């Protein structure tokens, strides 16, 4: 049975709407590929997988607060990993059946940008591991 994840999404939130060419202009090629084309950066190549500084990871597309460094942990996967979002309303979860498997895709609820995937093997209370591309994030240090 497939876990129903859509029901928790906040559909009434305001969304950042931009044309494809506006996104291309704003984002780097790597950010565009991940956020707008649902690409995945290669493991151990992103700028944040080994990041230890404290702060808030914001959406690289629209600045929405996504993950706190407090919930970041070293998963050994080569991608930044978090046990939970800063605010559950700021991310949306979607069933993703690409590549012949069922995964849960994580997107920014404000701009719809692709962030990464959610896996059930996290070390925290919830067991969640948000596996996020560095490209999708901008660390706001504090
Ligand atoms: Zn966003």
Å from CA of 63 to ligand 1 middle: 6
pLDDT above 70 for 9: no
- Which residue, among 102, 53, 110, has the nearest Cα to 85 in the 3D structure? 110
pLDDT tens column, 57-88: 999 999 999 999 999 999 999 999 999 999 99
Is the model more confident about 125 or about 138?
138
Residue 121 CA to residue 131 CA, distance in Å, equals 10
Please say if 59 is a catalytic residue: no
Catalytic residue among 59, 108, 111, 131: 131
Residue 61 CA to residue 102 CA, distance in Å, equals 26
Angle at 123 between CA 70 and CA 41, to 5 degrees: 75
pLDDT above 60 for 11: no
Report every protein residue that has its C-beta within 5 angstroms of ion ligand 1.
Answer: 59, 61-62, 64, 108, 110-111, 113
- Whole-number average pLDDT of the chain: 92
**Model pLDDT, residue 84:** 97
pTM above 0.85, yes or no: yes
Q: Is 63 exposed, middle or buried (0-12, 13-18, 19+ CB in 10 A)?
A: middle
**Model pLDDT, residue 14:** 62
pLDDT tens column, 15-34: 899 999 999 999 999 999 99
């Amino acid at each position: 049975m497939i876990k129903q994840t859509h029901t928790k999404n906040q559909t009434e939130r305001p969304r950042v709407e931009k044309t494809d060419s506006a996104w291309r202009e704003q984002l780097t090629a790597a950010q565009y590929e991940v956020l707008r084309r649902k690409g995945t950066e290669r493991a151990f190549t992103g700028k944040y997988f080994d990041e230890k500084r404290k702060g808030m990871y914001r959406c690289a597309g629209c600045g929405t607060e996504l993950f706190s460094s407090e919930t970041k942990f070293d998963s050994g996967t080569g991608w930044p990993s978090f046990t939970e979002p800063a605010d559950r309303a700021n991310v949306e979860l979607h069933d993703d059946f690409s590549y012949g498997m069922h995964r849960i895709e994580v997107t920014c609820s404000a701009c719809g940008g692709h962030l990464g995937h959610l896996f059930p093997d996290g070390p925290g209370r919830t067991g969640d591991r948000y596996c996020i591309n560095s490209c999708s994030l901008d660390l706001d240090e504090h």
